[in-house]
Amino acid sequence: MVDAATLEKVEQRGIQQGLQKGVQQGRRALLIRLMTRHIGEVPSGIQTSLGTLTPDQLDDLGEALFDLNSYADIETWLSRQ
């Protein structure tokens, strides 16, 4: 039988993981909106690639987006990650 303290730790870990996943999805969604506005509709391959990036890489791409003016530029940036 599992004690209450162990259940609470597992629950807290699950909540934390869920929050992190939600934040990461929000970062990806914002990047897609910014790319769409800056360059145009985001190709599905790039959207898929965004799903593989860490939170720090998503932040870095957000900053780099100011200097990237085409999806070819973004693909080059992604290939370096």
71, 39 Cβ separation under 8 angstroms: yes
pTM: 0.79
Give the residue extent of every domain in the chain.
Answer: 4-79
Name the token pair of 16: 């934390």
Over its length of 81 residues, how does the chain's per-residue pLDDT go in tens digits? 778 788 788 888 889 888 888 888 999 999 999 999 999 999 999 999 999 999 999 999 999 999 999 999 999 999 998
